[in-house]
Amino acid sequence: LAASAASAVLAGIRMLVTSGPTHEPIDPVRYLANRSSGKQGHAIAAAAAAAGADVTLVSGPVSLPDPPGVRTVHVETARQMLAAVEERLPVDVAVCAAAVADWRPEAEGSQKLKKDGSGAIPQLRLTENPDILQTLSQHHTLRPRLVVGFAAETETVIEHARAKLARKGCDLIVANDVSAASGVMGGDRNRVHLVSPEGVETWAEMAKTEVASRLVAHIGERLKAAAR
Ligand code: CTP
Ligand code: CA
């Protein structure tokens, strides 16, 4: 009975999760990307589905299987990710765990860039990608009741996360230290701080799957508290 009660904390909740990197084409054979395995985002989608939510996962290119019980939409670029997300609105909860490329090449070459033998180096002009988390957080008509972002930081993790929370207007930031020494990137474990206007909650290091199920429980609590 305890298990079935715990498994239904998000029953009837529609949830969107972004996960993985995005790939921004330079030409037909090259792209610009972020380091991201998608493990944390996929684990959150799976945990939310296990908790009874109706989950859509919008995933960049990853080498993970689609999580069970989750509607998975595959995209490549940040602009495709935003379009796929907007297509699913309205939802109750959005969790943006994707490592979206902040910039993309201004123009995608239609043919492969070639070395011309002179040693000349191509100069890539970049342009900024749309911010999916910010678009959701500041949506005029279809803002989810709860918008959760991540912050990938290599230094002063909590300060940067607080600034992001304020700048983007989301309700909660899950901040993780992704410096090389932390082993978080590509690894199976994570150590996170939950940063919200109410304060900071630091969790012990644990498996990404465990972070996912605790985050889902935390989201359930927040929705319950907001409904009171
Ligand atoms: N994010 C997003 N769309 C973008 C960039 C980021 O949705 N174009 C989301 C990420 O999914 C994450 C949060 O914003 O939930 C923070 O991403 P992060 O890269 O840590 O922060 P940025 O705001 O991009 O700032 P910076 O990379 O300069 O630290
Ligand atoms: Ca970024």
Could you tell me what percent of the chain has a pLDDT over 90? 80
Asked if residues 190 and 206 have their Cβ atoms less than 8 Å apart, the reply is: yes
pTM for this predicted structure: 0.94
* Ligand 1 center to 7 CA (angstroms): 30
Residues in binding site = 102, 112, 130-133, 150, 164, 168
Residues in binding site for CTP = 102, 112, 130-133, 150, 164, 168
- For helices 208-227 and 39-50, angle between their N-to-C axes, nearest 10 degrees: 50
Rg of the chain in Å (alpha carbons):
18
Vertex 40 angle, CA 182 and 165, to 5°: 80
Ligand 1 is surrounded, with C-beta below 6 A, by 18, 78, 96, 98, 100, 102, 129, 131-133, 149-152, 164
pLDDT digits (tens, 9 = 90+) for 105-131: 998 888 999 888 898 898 999 999 999
Instruction: Provide CB contacts within 8 A for 57, sequence distance 6+.
Output: 17, 18, 19, 41, 42, 45, 66, 67, 70, 71, 72, 73
Segment 149-173 shows an average pLDDT of 95
Catalytic residues: 34
Question: Per-residue pLDDT for 176 more than 80?
Answer: yes
Q: Which two tokens stand for residue 22?
A: 């995005």
